[in-house]
Amino acid sequence: MGEAQLTRCVSPTIGARNWSTYTVLGFVGYVVASAVGAALAMRWNLALGERLVALIAPPSAFVVAITLATAIKGREWIVFYQALFAAVGVVVVAALLTHGRLWRELDVTVVGIGTFLVFGRIGCFQVACCHGRPSRRGVVYGAAHVTAGFWPRWEGRRLFPIQLVEAAGAGVLVVGAFVASAEPGAATIVFGTGYAVMRFALELFRGDVLRPYARTVSEAQWSCLATVVVCALAWPRWWTLAACLCVFVWAAVLVSRRPARELFLPPHVLELDQACAVVAADPDHARRETSLGVGISCHRLPDGRMDWILSAPHPAWSTAAAERLARDLWPAFEIVAGRAPGVVHVLVAAPAVAP
């Protein structure tokens, strides 16, 4: 798929009535996932009560989890792992209370959720949520996406289509889970472990700025770690234990490299962008500083360009660090090292200043 194709196929709405593409794909995903779940329930001869638990409890838990998260956040807040944990938890409790075949009910649930996720991530790609970072090749989001909540700073810039990568990976894992499903529970563990490892890696390429982090590890990555631990304890095989060890070591490395990573995480880039907006309103007098100590000010040069002046006492600060941040903030710029230690000038054409 080429650049132009990616650009043309993206739209946050569909049809004459401008239905949300995300909502439409979510509905389609629910229908397909329900059909897959029903087929699996028939294949494994689940009793009526078991089918009701596996097919009704997960979407109900999804709705409750999203509703509660949205109420707490004060705006729409859909987090896949939160909804997944809620769905699995409800199915486990219901299966134990009704004396159903727990592993088979979980297999139907997890494979169905994985199927739904394939369509959900394609919906994310269309509406510009859960997006990637700037890239030479990729998808371009426009004004309609900004209106729907996309970060204005990256309007018109090519972003790596990480949502499509995750959709494809989830599809492969669904097939793998089905192939491995002869033994009850195997489908659940295959998808759960495989998705956790994949998602942990993909988080490193995500660029959306509103996700929470703890010690430079994202909420989703901590959820991945919890998932592989539970899978390894519930299904101790060499590959589940290896996946658990891999993610644990990976997380430990990320935490240990916190000083080298925290400047470039999406929340700090957003904070710097917000500081730029304040400074741009009064470029000759304003100066702002982020929570990590990156100071920013600017003034207009005789040739019309804006000279953004960045400095920081942060241990990871350098001209290279300033250049890396500049790549996230401006599509075109020139880096000039300042005379004072730690000071870097980023020269940007005036029209490109406003986010």
Selected residue with higher pLDDT from 281 and 335: 335
| Token output for 91 | 């199915």
Does residue 2 surpass a pLDDT of 50?
no
Do residues 163 and 130 make contact, with C-beta atoms less than 8 angstroms apart? yes
> What does the domain layout of the chain look like in residue ranges?
3-256, 264-352
Question: Which residues neighbour 27 within 8 Å (Cβ) at sequence distance 6 or greater?
Answer: none
- Tokens coding 152: 């204005």
CATH class of 264-352: alpha beta
Assign 141 a pLDDT band (cuts: 50, 70, 90): very high
Q: Mind listing the pLDDT tens digit for each residue in 100-140? A: 999 999 999 999 999 999 999 999 999 999 999 999 889 99
Is the pLDDT higher at 6 or at 125? 125
What rounded mean pLDDT belongs to the chain?
91
How far lies 217's CA from each of 59, 73, 242, 324, in Å? 28, 20, 20, 20
The crossing angle, in degrees rounded to 10, of helices 162-179 and 186-202 is 160
Chain length of the chain: 355
pLDDT at 215 over 50: yes
Three-state secondary structure readout of 87-154:
HHHHHHHHHHHHCCCHHHHHHHHHHHHHHHHHHHHHHHHHHCCCCECEEEEEEECCHHHHHCCCCHHH
Lowest mean pLDDT among 69-78, 168-177, 192-201, 223-232: 69-78
Side chain identity at residue 310, one-letter code: L
Structure tokens at 64: 């409750």
Q: Are 345 and 308 in contact (CB under 8 A)?
A: yes
Buried b (16+ CB within 10 A) or exposed e, 289-325: ebebebbbbbeeeeeebbbbbbbbebebbebebbeeb
- Going by their DSSP bridges, the two strands 217-218 and 287-289 should be labelled as unpaired
Q: What is the mean pLDDT of residues 196-207?
A: 97
Query: Is a pLDDT exceeding 50 seen at residue 3?
Result: no
pLDDT at residue 6, as a whole number:
55
CA dihedral for 29, 30, 36, 37, sign (positive or negative):
positive
Question: Rg of the Cα trace of the chain?
Answer: 23
